[in-house]
Structure 1
Amino acid sequence: MSVHEKLAAAAPVPQEAAPPADTPALERLALRVTAWCEKWYPDAYVFVALTVVAVAIGTMAIGASPGAVSVAFGNGFWSLIPFTMQMAMVAITGYVIASSPPMARLVDRAARVPKNGRSAVAYVAFVSVVASLLHWAISLIFAGLLAKALARRTELRMDYRAAGAAAYLGIGATWAMGLSSSAAQLQANAASIPASLLKITGVIPFSQTIFLWQSLVVTAVLLAVSTLIAYWTAPAPARARTAAELGVEIEPTGISESVQTRPGEWFEHSPLLTLVLVALGGGWVWHELSSKPLLVAISGLNTYNLIFLLAGMLLHWRPRSFLDAVGKAVPATTGVLIQFPLYGAIASMLTTAQGADGASLSHHLSTLFVSVSSGESYPLMMGIYSAVLGFFVPSGGGKWIIEAPYVMQAANDLHVHLGWAVQIYNAAEALPNLINPFWMLPLLGILRLKARDLVGFTFAQFLSHTPIVLILLWALARTLPYSSPVLP
């Protein structure tokens, strides 16, 4: 931590004055919620710990014994370790690529486009949402580094908190409507679908999920709404708080390479080892891409992370530059490493601790929403259920495995289009991300901010997105006929 950051951390957080009466309504809402969060919103670690307590109490309320809840907690605590490592590598490899000399120049060029602080925030939101349709990790890291590059343009008077929230919108709005949708990817590949679920849903190709014209309509609306809300909630220059005013020191995007001083450092400054490692890894990647359909091959995080890692090695060229970039990226993974195990424990308590009737809390929640649904109201009820459960289990793919057997059987029983049921899940599942700090962790590490700094602005997005998404999911379901599952 620099001297500047230490002094900023020691100083009291300045209290924002109440917004003037002529402040636009959405900006006033964002500022007031942000001011409240700065005072009352806990650190992300405290937030997840409180969620653990709430789920444990809820599980015991349905009749599970304290011992069973404790066993479920312990069994689930390490269950996300592979995913935790994958997420840490997402943050590291994304930063390594974006901080390489070629990408740093691209980010800096992109940062020259906006002409003022508000348009800069909207610009970050647009980039984040569009990039999320290709891959959520690209969206999160690239938009975060773009926000940092824009923060260096002090003449913009850009609110750094609003820009950080805008960088997060791909995760909170559209990622699951794009190619990296865990649920859509799983349902499109028979080999990936659990046998018990395959009997219920059959194979559902992309043409019946993310490429439905109804899905494209929802995505286009969310892109427009996200960008507009980001612009309207961005504080005017007089009320904006820059990175410097928040005590955040913005270092250059690129990594300044050290100079070789000893003969033993020759390998560190030679591209020889980089070329050998990239050749080995590239051979495996080529095998994956040539032996599987493209979308199947690149859907796994392991493959994506290796591609990013190899690309980072090449872009930095010399091992020393690459290792320096990794060293600067590691602090961004702190929250991921300590908090993801707690989310694994939450998922386990929700799904494996059985109540007095032998059912889990997750089953009780799903049964409640399905029991009050009809064919007409099912899209709305499933959307609400997916959003609520997503707040406690913020893992798109893992939660789909938990939820799909119940909700897709109900879709069959109520004659709801199965592909649209997947899209209902995708669109609604992203909503709680806007106020849940789980997916913020890699971004917060890059921006050097707290969840409380962003959530006032993402809360305004949440209030705007929720009714729009639910109404669209309900209305567009009426345009899609039901068809029986297509079994392989």
Structure 2
Amino acid sequence: MSSSENILQKFAIRVSDWSEKWFPDSYIFALLGVVIVSIASFSIGAPAKDVALAFGDGFWSLIPFTLQMCMLIVVGYVVSVSRPVEILINKLARIPTSGTGAIVLVATVSLFISLINWAMSTVLTALLVIALSKRKELNMDYRAAAAAAIIGMGATWALGISSSAAQLQANKASLPEPIYQLTGVIPFTETIFLPQSMIMTAILIIASIAIAFWSAPKGNAVKTVDEFDIQFDQQITEKSQVKSKRPGDWLENSPILTILVVILGIIWMFNEFGKGNPIVAISGLNTYNFIFLMLGLALHGTPRNFLNAVSKAVPAISGVLIQFPLYGSIAFIMTHAMNSQDLSLSHYIAEFFVSIASKETFAIVMGVYSAILGFFIPSGGGKWIIEAPYVMQAAHDLKYHLGWSVQIYNAAEALPNLINPFFMLPMLGILKLKAKDVIGFTVTQLIFHIPLVMFLLWILGRSLTYTPPVF
């Protein structure tokens, strides 16, 4: 083992040990976020009453998104524990020959799946970690493997086809009118499919996998799943053995109703995908959840098998249910608590970064701003609606490439996901871990990613030229 590997592993382990002792539960983290943005709003002159009203008004503002995320966890879990997918995951789990190799496999799957759909990566990679943890001979560090499962959310998801900001900018119907008047339509060819964007994505994938490999604990430093006293259900996919003694039992154990409902779902999906671009259709969480719900029904066969799987998934959504309302309050306080000049905290933050930017420093300044704001408002599409008026106006004024401005946002706003429990919750719920268990390894990724991402945004952006908006 080289000295550089020793240093990286020791750093990750020391941060992990520190976080296990000092890092609070993610619920405490959300409460602290509310307090911090409230104090910051007071500092700009926002009245206490307005801050309190914003807190209450925003508390339920993420209810649709909360339900979508809960359904995402449930249907993703249900599909993933079905017998066919279980076989696939188990085949993948047999590939590695060492604990380090297992962690690299998880990181690779996470990075590539998140490019297709970020939601899928959080559930399937978590279940892959569980399958790998059952291979005791690997001696796999459970913390590092769990951290590898979230790498895609912190590195590549926003550079793929499920990027919320890129999707919004490519669809006129989705764009709020003020943003459309400023930017026009920006197609995928000017954002995620730019050669510069694909180069950046490839570099981040290679770097993330390398960091996961070099920081993976070995020898006595490894903490396997057994040391966490976690018990996973062994009979999730087992078929119900209840004998049909009454009509209700017969319906529960018959595939007839499932087949009829799935047929209706297939007809709807053909109609939905026939309306336009299939990539646009599947990028919506409602459509995505619907597809996986129908797939889960089909893979489990009978209503009873499906319901058994759902009951196993429900405990994983507890963190989402109790914490997402607090994140909604944070977003509202930042954007709705106004001072006497009718300006919010979000405006002052944006104004500061825009005022210090030049064409040469635009990528780095906007990248830092998006990363910082993303720590408090962890919502790709919602945060873009907040940022776009300031960021794109600055890009116009500086004659900076509009599509690359979107990619600056995408690459930078993903960074906080490496340490923000918001998007970790689905994965942590399935793996029965807490944020403090994985933070040491995700911080290691973040420390390397920040300078790398900022450098790539700056150097690759220099090769692009400004083009006027397309309306």
The TM-score bracket by the shorter chain reads over 0.9
Q: Displacement of 1:254 after TM fit?
A: 4.3
Contact 1:62–1:356 (Cα < 8 Å) also in 2: no
Residue 425 of structure 1 pairs with residue 409 of structure 2: yes
1:121 paired residue number:
103
Can you give the 5+ residue segments of structure 1 that lack an aligned partner in the other structure? 1-20
**Match for 2:260: what amino acid?**
V
Residue 176 of structure 1 pairs with residue 143 of structure 2: no
Contact 1:104–1:254 (Cα < 8 Å) also in 2: no
Residue identity (%): 55
Residue by residue over 1:46-69, the C-alpha shift from the partner in whole angstroms, topping out at 9 and shown as x without a partner, is: 000001000000001100111000
Residue 346 of structure 1 pairs with residue 306 of structure 2: no
Contact 1:260–1:266 (Cα < 8 Å) also in 2: no
Alignment partners' CA distance in 2, 1:252 and 1:208: 47
- Give the alignment partner of residue 388 of structure 2, picking from 392, 397, 404: 404
Q: Displacement of 1:22 after TM fit?
A: 9.4
Aligned residues: 468
Residue 457 of structure 1 pairs with residue 433 of structure 2: no
Alignment partners' CA distance in 1, 2:367 and 2:229: 40
1:12 paired residue number:
none
Alignment partners' CA distance in 1, 2:193 and 2:344: 34
1:15 paired residue number:
none
2:253 paired residue number:
269
Alignment partners' CA distance in 2, 1:152 and 1:230: 20
Residue 72 of structure 1 pairs with residue 54 of structure 2: yes
Residue 279 of structure 1 pairs with residue 263 of structure 2: yes
Contact 2:75–2:292 (Cα < 8 Å) also in 1: yes
Structure 2 counterparts to residues 167-246 of structure 1, below 5 A = 167-246=149-228
**Match for 1:235: what amino acid?**
P
- Give the alignment partner of residue 141 of structure 2, picking from 159, 165, 173: 159
Q: Displacement of 1:247 after TM fit?
A: 1.1
| More moved, 229-238 vs 304-313 | 229-238
Alignment partners' CA distance in 1, 2:264 and 2:55: 40
1:486 paired residue number:
470
Structure 2 counterparts to residues 243-392 of structure 1, below 5 A = 243-252=225-234, 254-261=236-243, 262-263=245-246, 264-392=248-376
- Give the alignment partner of residue 467 of structure 1, picking from 428, 451, 468: 451
2:21 paired residue number:
39
Contact 2:208–2:445 (Cα < 8 Å) also in 1: yes
Structure 2 counterparts to residues 51-90 of structure 1, below 5 A = 51-90=33-72
- Give the alignment partner of residue 94 of structure 1, picking from 76, 80, 92: 76
1:50 paired residue number:
32
Contact 1:183–1:397 (Cα < 8 Å) also in 2: yes
Residue by residue over 1:160-204, the C-alpha shift from the partner in whole angstroms, topping out at 9 and shown as x without a partner, is: 000000001111110000010000001001111111000111100
| More moved, 273-282 vs 395-404 | 273-282
Residue 109 of structure 1 pairs with residue 88 of structure 2: no
Q: Displacement of 1:238 after TM fit?
A: 2.0
1:437 paired residue number:
421
Residue by residue over 1:319-357, the C-alpha shift from the partner in whole angstroms, topping out at 9 and shown as x without a partner, is: 111000000001110000110011000000000110232
1:16 paired residue number:
none
Contact 2:76–2:123 (Cα < 8 Å) also in 1: yes
Q: CA RMSD in A?
A: 1.3
Residue by residue over 1:452-485, the C-alpha shift from the partner in whole angstroms, topping out at 9 and shown as x without a partner, is: 0011000000001000000000111110000011
Residue by residue over 1:420-466, the C-alpha shift from the partner in whole angstroms, topping out at 9 and shown as x without a partner, is: 00000000000011111110001011000010001100000000100
Q: Displacement of 1:253 after TM fit?
A: 7.7
Q: Displacement of 1:378 after TM fit?
A: 0.5
Alignment partners' CA distance in 1, 2:234 and 2:395: 51
Alignment partners' CA distance in 1, 2:227 and 2:354: 49
Q: Per the alignment, in what secondary structure is the counterpart of residue 482 of structure 1?
A: coil
Q: Displacement of 1:260 after TM fit?
A: 2.4
Can you give the 5+ residue segments of structure 2 that lack an aligned partner in the other structure? none
**Match for 2:412: what amino acid?**
A
| More moved, 253-262 vs 477-486 | 253-262
Alignment partners' CA distance in 1, 2:234 and 2:166: 38
Alignment partners' CA distance in 2, 1:105 and 1:89: 23
Q: Displacement of 1:292 after TM fit?
A: 2.3
**Match for 1:71: what amino acid?**
L
Contact 1:162–1:454 (Cα < 8 Å) also in 2: yes
Contact 2:5–2:214 (Cα < 8 Å) also in 1: no
Alignment partners' CA distance in 1, 2:412 and 2:205: 15
